[in-house]
């Protein structure tokens, strides 16, 4: 059964909430993000998954600066909540 967490994060000086569904996959965990704000949800569309591989959260940062900042904000909050280190890598 999937586990769901609520994560608070800050983005451009405001606090928002997102739901994160944790799905176990072969060799890793996938954290699927659903932002509880329609505009931010649209901004994150297509880039809403964070993977945990070898005990580390890993995100790919897109070319879209605003989308990248949003995903980093959520990933940092998730990393702090779960006490799991975060790795960032460029996807372009």
pLDDT the model gives residue 29: 94
The pTM is what?
A: 0.91
pLDDT for residue 92: 45
CA atoms within 13 A of residue 28's CA, in its CB half-sphere: 12
Residue showing tokens 């960032």: 88
Which residues of the chain are under the pLDDT cut of 50? Answer: 92
Residue 63: exposure state from Cβ atoms within 10 A (0-12, 13-18, ≥19): exposed
């Amino acid at each position: 059964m999937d586990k769901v967490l609520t994560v608070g994060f800050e983005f451009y000086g405001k606090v928002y909430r997102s739901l994160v569904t944790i799905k176990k996959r072969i060799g890793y965990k996938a954290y699927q993000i659903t932002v509880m704000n329609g505009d931010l949800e649209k901004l994150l569309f297509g880039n809403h998954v964070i993977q945990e591989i070898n005990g580390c959260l890993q995100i790919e940062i897109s070319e879209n600066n605003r989308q990248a900042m949003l995903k980093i904000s959520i990933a940092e909050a998730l990393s702090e909540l779960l006490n799991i280190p975060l790795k960032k890598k460029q996807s372009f």
